[in-house]
Structure 1
């Protein structure tokens, strides 16, 4: 194009070259000095896990749709320690506070129980063991067991100490007896192929652990909760069986010494014989003046339902002040004195009033309870009963 001042080149490339020759090459934004950049706060960067979509196997035809959708995660884990667990209140558990928020985007939110029960084990185990998406409701470092909340109304318990006997006894309770309204309902049991851990999916109980609220409630409410716990244990002991041990053909876990294997299936006479062996061993560790006299005669032709691990952490108080019992790994059918002996052994000293009411209001054989408590102390490595929260001489 011609002009009066000469020729003008309007080609874009030539124009860019002319600007570079006159003014220099422009610098990129990332090469600017730090004083020209606006600082970005770390808190302003959201922690987001994208939505997860898992394709179900082509051979799986029992559930539609064929893709499992998990919502995104927009919040960081926030761990809170919960102390004062165990007989001496020296243990603790960890809790991710996201698991207490009903508005959190749980991975299986929106799926009903039938759909969750129909999912493949491998897919379901992958979601449950991902603690970024399934927040941890409780983690016990002593047992390494984990309780993850996977839906607004469901939790999954998994870990090295989770056993089939716990699911079996909870299934039996949920089918027959009056105590089923105080036990979480079990929906499914599966095994993780990666870790080999057993996973139990059960109902989520909205409430507080008795350990966490006992020190901050009024004496009147403590009395009401104590009466409710005593009544619940009495109802449990109305359920009877002819043979001792856990439900199903599984090894006994309560009051068992590792150096003295217990037979797989026993009747009442065999159980008394095994308990007398443990009582003799326990007396050998004690001075002559502290040895107990007599024999175990627990066989009455019946055994009652027992949790065999009742401590304050076993009780959940819901929003209506109802008592729920959790942790049935050692549960089964045992003599009535066995449950009371374990309560006396495991309850911390600040729960002495609760222990006193349980021992006073439930009929039992006092001498047999002392024998079983001695056996439990010997199994825990404390034959002289110097440790633990259950050695209450003032209760005798």
Structure 2
């Protein structure tokens, strides 16, 4: 499904011993709250890996815990997960610890860490094809409910929770922001829209964005079979909150539309069960056509944030 046609260098690697509960995991039996950061960092680098893709690692440090680490594992990811755990019934890994090791030479040499529960199950990209239709239907209902709950969580300030650069396919390969408010985010999307029009990638009739009075909801922005884990009881867990933040609700739906071709029999029924403003979705998708083009002023912003945190606006919920 998701990774079938990717070259090997773009496919995540897994150490088979990470899936074996009989493996001697390095921090088994330890009090995770009192382990020094340096020891956690070492375990992140040496423990059996559940996921290893271009320096983005999820390592299993005990039978029940994993540690995620990457330069783009930012504090906002743990913030979003904690908010979801507090305000919704969405099943996600519990966050036990998180920290960010910042370097003076910017984000790309910094690294974030999140210690969270290990979810025992199969990601949907590994089992969807063999599931009976009744179980597929139940999964779709569970995921649609997740989206509805997320969209009920409204926040006043756009961007990742607690500040920082925005990540994912709606921005650039390097991210974008931090955004200082709705008008700053609106300006970014309008710049991308105008660029898409100038390259004749979209219709010139698409109207500009107007986010001055927009509502911002908590969005995951990577709801995909690879990030949905089915446990032995038939319950679905949503993992990998790296791209999450407060954005216009239709940005979440546009993400599903963009991914639809990867697995139509997952996305099509899901899209039928969510609220969709087609005009807003198409408006967001127009800017995605130039996603591969860097926004160099935002690279500077990101580096400034990583070294000084001077562009981190507060982001609170009711």
SS in 1 for 2:68: strand
Q: Deviations over 1:252-277 (max 9, x none)?
A: 2243247996453213x443333222
Cα distance in 1 for partners of 2:154, 2:280 equals 19
1:122 to 33, 38, 53: 38
The 2-side partners of 1:300 and 1:213 are apart by 42
Shift of 1:140: 2.0
Q: 1:187 maps to which residue?
A: 96
Name the structure 2 match of 1:228.
142
> Do the aligned residues in 2 keep the contact of 1:86 with 1:311 (CA within 8 Å)?
no
Name the CA distance, whole Å, in 2 between partners of 1:193 and 1:273.
Answer: 29
- Taking the aligned partners of 1:253 and 1:245, their CA distance within structure 2 comes to 9
Listed as ranges, the gaps of 5+ residues in structure 1 are: 1-83, 382-396
* Counterpart among 272, 276, 286 of residue 186 in structure 2: 272
With over 3 angstroms needed to count, the CA separation of the structure-2 counterparts of 1:299 and 1:224, relative to structure 1, is farther
Q: Is the 8 A contact 2:100 2:113 kept in 1?
A: yes
Secondary structure of the 2:61 match is: strand
Q: Partner of 2:269 in structure 1?
A: 357
- The structure having more radius of gyration, on CA atoms, is 1
For each residue in 1:111-144, what CA deviation from the matched residue of structure 2 results, as whole angstroms up to 9, or x when unmatched? 2xxx2211211122223311xxx21111124xx3
Q: Would the aligned equivalents of 1:210 and 1:313 in 2 still touch at CA under 8 Å?
A: yes
Relative to structure 1, is the Cα distance of residues 89 and 342 closer, same or farther in structure 2, using a 3 angstrom cutoff? farther
Distance 1:140 1:258 in 2: 16
Separation (CA, whole Å) in 2 of partners of 1:361 and 1:297: 26
Query: 147, 151, 160: which is aligned to 2:62?
Result: 151
Counterpart secondary structure, 1:137 = strand
What corresponds to 1:378 in structure 2? Answer: 290
Distance 2:48 2:284 in 1: 39
Please, what is the CA RMSD of the aligned residues? Answer: 2.6
Kept in 1: contact 2:163–2:178 (CA 8 A): no
Deviation at 1:334, TM superposition (A): 0.8
Which residue of 2 is the match for residue 208 of structure 1? 122
- Contact 1:340–1:369 (8 Å) recurs in 2: yes
Q: TM-score, normalised on structure 1? A: 0.66
Count of equivalent residues: 285
- The one-character-per-residue Cα deviations of 1:312-361 (angstroms, maximum 9, x if unpaired) are 21111111111111111110111111011112213443x21332223322
- Deviation of 1:197 after TM superposition, in Å, equals 2.5
TM-score, structure 2 as length reference:
0.81
Query: Are residue 161 (structure 1) and residue 72 (structure 2) matched?
Result: yes
Relative CO higher for 1 or 2, CA cutoff 8 Å, sep ≥ 6?
Answer: 2
Residue matched to 1:238? 152
Q: 2: distance between equivalents of 1:199 and 1:335?
A: 28
Q: How does 1:37-52 map to 2 (within 5 A)?
A: none
Tell me, in whole angstroms, the C-alpha distance in 2 between the residues paired with 1:93 and 1:199: 18
Contact 1:345 1:377 in 2 (8 A): no
Secondary structure (helix, strand or coil) at the match of 1:188 reads: strand
Contact preservation (8 Å) 1:242, 1:301 = no
Describe the shift of the 1:86–1:152 C-alpha distance in structure 2 as closer, same or farther (beyond 3 A). Answer: same
1-structure distance, mates of 2:60, 2:195: 43
Contact 2:214 / 2:248 at 8 angstroms: preserved in 1?
no
